[in-house]
């Protein structure tokens, strides 16, 4: 192959116009490659800036997601505490109303218990019957007032 190149070089006339033409072609190609390198460098710089902006945007979005998640967890925890508080309060009120109902039920059974029939009627009822008759009537159960939500 080297012999082929040597043969070609010996056949080319090395006159000044041919050398100028080949020099201008090589110089033009060199200038084009330099311009292309400059464009590639500028594009590379823009891509680096764009990559840095994208990374910053990803970090900002990640922080926003973490913030929303922590807010959501805080809100969920607050709602759970409120729900537990309401459940405890209404459970307490339910127990109290059931206890009042049981007390009223027991009192009504005692009052409404049929008295044994006696052959002879005493002129004066026994004292414990008098005490029972003089007791004030039980107040009706009032509805439970609503809680103030703040």
For the chain, the structural domain boundaries read 15-108
Ordered DSSP codes for 7-29: HHHHHS---HHHHHHHHHHHHHH
Q: How far is CA 12 from the centre of its chain?
A: 80
d(CA 10, CA 64): 74
Q: Residue 17: its pLDDT value, please? A: 86
> To the nearest whole number, what is the mean pLDDT of the chain?
82
Q: Residue 96: its pLDDT value, please? A: 95
18 pLDDT tier (thresholds 50, 70, 90):
confident
Residue scoring higher pLDDT (122 or 27): 27
84 pLDDT tier (thresholds 50, 70, 90):
very high
138 has a pLDDT exceeding 70: no
Q: Residue 92: its pLDDT value, please? A: 95
For 71, counting Cβ atoms within 10 Å of its Cβ (0-12 exposed, 13-18 middle, 19+ buried), the class is exposed
């Amino acid at each position: 192959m080297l012999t082929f190149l040597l043969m070609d070089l010996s056949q080319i006339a090395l006159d000044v116009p041919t050398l100028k033409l080949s020099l201008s072609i090589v110089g033009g190609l060199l200038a084009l490659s330099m311009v292309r390198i400059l464009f590639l460098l500028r594009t590379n710089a823009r891509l680096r800036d764009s990559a840095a902006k994208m990374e910053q945007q990803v970090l900002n979005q990640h922080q926003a997601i973490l913030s929303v998640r922590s807010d959501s967890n805080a809100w969920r925890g607050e709602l759970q505490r409120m729900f537990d508080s309401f459940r405890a309060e209404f459970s307490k009120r339910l127990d109290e109303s059931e206890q009042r109902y049981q007390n009223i039920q027991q009192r009504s059974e005692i009052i409404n218990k049929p008295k044994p029939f006696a052959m002879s009627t005493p002129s004066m009822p026994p004292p414990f019957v008098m005490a029972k008759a003089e007791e004030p009537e039980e107040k009706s159960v009032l509805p439970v007032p609503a809680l103030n939500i703040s």
